[in-house]
A and B are shown apart, each in its own frame.
Chain A
Amino acid sequence: MSAHSSATSSPLKGYFAVWIALLAGTGLTVYAATLDLAPYNAAVALGIATIKATLVALFFMHVWHASEKLTKLVVIAALFFLLLLLGLTMSDYATRLWS
Chain B
Amino acid sequence: MDKFGFAISQQRQIDFEANRRDIAEYISEKEPSFRVCIECGCCAATCTTGNFTPFSLRELLILLKRGENDKVRDNINKCMLCGKCTLVCPRGVNTRNVISLAREAFQDRIKNAV
Co-complex (A, B)? no
